[in-house]
Chain A
Amino acid sequence: MTIRQHLRAILATTSRHYTIASSPPFQFTTTDAGKLYEIPKADYDRLNFNKMLPLALTKQFGTIDECVTMIRPPLVEVSSYMKTARTNFSSLRLCLWGRFGTGKTTTLNQAVHMASSEGWVVVHLKSVLSLTRKVQEVDMSTYQPGRINDPMRATEILQLFKQQNTHLWKRLSELMTTKSYEWTKNDKTVEGKPLTDIVEMGLSAPYLASDCVGALFKELRLHASKGEIKLFVGIDDSNSLWGKTLVKKADRTKAKAHELTLVQHYKNFLQNDWSNGTVLLVADQKEVSDARDSLTVPLYTPLELFGDEGFDFIDPFIPIETSIYTKEEANTIFEYYKTKQWLATPGAKDNTGRIQIAELSGYNPFYFERICAFV
């Protein structure tokens, strides 16, 4: 055997057994499904994916030091619907649904990256549950009596919006407000001021932030409809917009979700009155599952999770189901983990290990990754 043959043999054994997609995310087609692609580090940081993605996944990305995810059929489906966005066509509502761990949140984040890298303005919410169940301090709305503001969360929303759209900030500052906003007697944003002023106003005065979020969202919808920007709205755990809250009112009763200002602002994206954008919702079983009960397997279809009221509200929408890995997908991700030493023990790396990991996880992406993390 010559040296060249030797080298070729070595190369053959060390070459990758997975394929990396080369086209930009928005151009993915069904033939790309099952391939891997990388989200650049700069985009990962700008979109704050370290906080937006599930904890287990960010730990893996941190250790491997790159954000490589798989193109799965739901992502291709989302991108194909996003391509239909235009001014004379009402915004589409897409709803991701599926079993626990099958990639609803990951697909949402991938879609956010896809939209952002195409120059769309992105409004991204990690979880509606943070608006309804993790409210730290409240004050009553002055704009609409009976509404409950959440200044801390509203500030966070504005901050995230500013961070995720940094690369479009110049473009956003060229967009002008369509009407005057009188926040208080002293604080005003008159008509024809840059849109970014509303964000800055909310960030500098947290007690105005909740109203600023509403005004910002409304202006974004108007400008999208005019065709000046394209708007992508991603709302995780969106069935909680009609869920129960832990916010207590003055009379010690629990507030309803529709009484919360921020919930109302996000619901306004689900109307048919704007165009040139896409709303991606996630129906998640967190809302209905009991943390103390690990045995019951809750229902997971949009009708059950949104309830009658929520379902009627978002209807018509396009359901997109996420599912467990196929055998080929599991093999691809296994080869990737093997190359990146995410699989550490020798027993896990051979064929028997591959089959056992896949069967033990039931081909569920979440369990698959978790088992690979410790074998």
Chain B
Amino acid sequence: MLRPFLRSSLGNATRFLGTEASAISEEDAGAPRNLKRIGRALETYLRHSRENASMMARERADFDLGKRHLANMMGIDPHTINQNDIDKAIEYLFPSSLFDKKARPVMRPPDEILPRFNRFTFDDEGRPSDSRFYTLRPKFYALLSEIGLKTYNVSRLHAEHVKLNRKDDVNDQTVSLTGTTWINEEKMKKKLGENITTEMYAHLFLAFDYLVSLPGSVVESEFISQFREPLTSATASRIFGPEIPKVEICSKTNRRTATASVRVKSTNATVTVSDAGTGQWDIDGLTMHNFRSLLAREVLLCPLIVANLIGQVDVKATTVGAGGATAVPRAVRHGTALGLAALFPDVEEKLRLAGLISWDPRDKERNKVNQPGARAKWIWKRR
């Protein structure tokens, strides 16, 4: 797969070199026309670079000023305002009912949203300092080479280890990948700052896969972890709804868990959902069948049925407050749904559509003076 690509890109590079070579040869012949053209291209590049730098500086200053204005408007301390506050303020000031989240108004640092300017480094004579410049994708090939070197290193170390018959098990272990996944193509592009094709991404993927499969790849775990992300839903970009909890990995059992704190009426619950379970329930020390009401048991089981994960996770919950026949199961249900959304990002949308992710803000209505309840009245009697 790599070969045709290499041929084409190398072909490009040689053509480029060819032009330069011919330019030099023409210069030797006493015609400096082509060199002048390259010099103009460089000048244009440098001009664009300067313009971009000043534009970015201006945008950054504007963003900082806007942030201060926004903080003043919202009554937040301008020194401590963070991106989360900004998102909330924008949502409040410019309420948008547009379906696509990308179409809604945003205010983010210019470095995040404006197109990136591709910078090159040149020496005094105008020659690129990166030796891979002429491959057109220097960062991509640098990473591929690095993976190759690391792969070689790991296999060499392991071979030595086998040869010397050493007993330390570090050189036998493969790197642990539980709970994380390779970053996707888009993120890889962003990370490299280069536009790579799906084919090129596949090459990186294959190279990484081979590296992690080698015994002793644990020595390169720090390098590998730069290109992996936790298996959670993207909470940072969420503006609406409660926060999806973070996934933690138990060091002893190697099981993934997510803990959510939720409230229903005056009941506060802390719910921990663990994957790879057997359907165990522990709600303040009680199990499922200690709940005599069928309704309560149905409520507890609801998120698992929606997510089709019944009997596959363990739920542990502790509640505080005046919980009744339905408040405790409802609080545990909400916490379970959030935990499932954190552990299994695929089911989050399903749970959201079932109305299990959003918080139920309803509360007990206060009693009124001279009335027996919130709405009830004493029986009217003439005398």
Contacts and interface: CB of A to CB of B under 8 A. Distances in A.
A340 to B, nearest CB: 22
Interface in B263-306: 279, 281, 286-294, 297-298, 301, 304-305
B325 A295 contact: yes
Given A101-B289, A359-B288, A362-B288, A295 B324 contact: yes
Interface bracket on B: 20 to 34
Contacts of A363: 288-289
Interface string A96-110: 000111000000000
B311 interface: yes
A249 B301 CA distance: 50
A362 B311 contact: no
Contacts of B279: 359
Nearest to B297: A360
Interface residues of A, number: 17
27 contacts: A99-B289, A101-B289, A294-B292, A294-B293, A294-B325, A295-B325, A297-B290, A324-B289, A355-B310, A356-B301, A356-B310, A359-B279, A359-B301, A359-B304, A359-B310, A359-B311, A360-B294, A360-B297, A360-B298, A360-B301, A361-B289, A362-B289, A362-B297, A363-B288, A363-B289, A364-B289, A367-B297
A364 B294 CA distance: 12
Interface in A74-113: 99-101
Interface in A275-307: 294-295, 297
A362 B324 contact: no
A30 to B, nearest CB: 24
Contacts, number: 44
A295 B310 CA distance: 25
Closest 10 CB pairs of A and B: A362-B289, A362-B288, A364-B289, A297-B290, A359-B310, A360-B297, A294-B292, A355-B310, A360-B301, A359-B311
A363 B297 CA distance: 12
A356 B298 CA distance: 10
Interface in A357-372: 359-364, 367, 371
A371 B279 CA distance: 19
B287 A362 contact: yes
Given A294-B292, A295-B325, A362-B281, A356 B287 contact: no
Interface of A: 99-101, 294-295, 297, 324, 355-356, 359-364, 367, 371
Contacts of A361: 288-289, 297
A371 B301 CA distance: 15
Contacts of A100: 292
Contacts of A297: 286, 290
A287 B198 CA distance: 71
B288 A356 contact: no
B354 to A, nearest CB: 16
Given A100-B292, A297-B286, A362-B289, 7 more contacts: A99-B289, A99-B290, A355-B311, A359-B288, A359-B311, A361-B288, A362-B297
B230 to A, nearest CB: 29
Nearest to B289: A362
A100 to B, nearest CB: 8
B289 A367 contact: yes
A331 to B, nearest CB: 13
Contacts of B305: 356
Nearest to B290: A297
A101 B288 CA distance: 13
A367 B294 CA distance: 9
Nearest to A367: B289
Interface in B118-133: none
Contacts of A355: 310-311
Nearest to B324: A295
A356 B325 CA distance: 22
B247 to A, nearest CB: 24
A71 to B, nearest CB: 21
A112 B305 CA distance: 41
Contacts of A360: 294, 297-298, 301
Contacts of A371: 294
A101 B291 CA distance: 12
Most chain A CB neighbours (cut-off 10 Å) among B281, B286, B289, B310? B289
Interface string B298-321: 100100110000110000000000
A158 B105 CA distance: 86
A297 B287 CA distance: 11
B325 to A, nearest CB: 6
Nearest to A370: B294
A270 B301 CA distance: 45
A86 B205 CA distance: 77
Nearest to A358: B311
B236 to A, nearest CB: 35
Contacts of B291: 362
Contacts of B325: 294-295
A101 B287 CA distance: 14
Contacts of B287: 362
A101 B297 CA distance: 15
B312 to A, nearest CB: 10
Contacts of B293: 294
A364 B324 CA distance: 22
Interface in B319-378: 324-325
B302 to A, nearest CB: 10
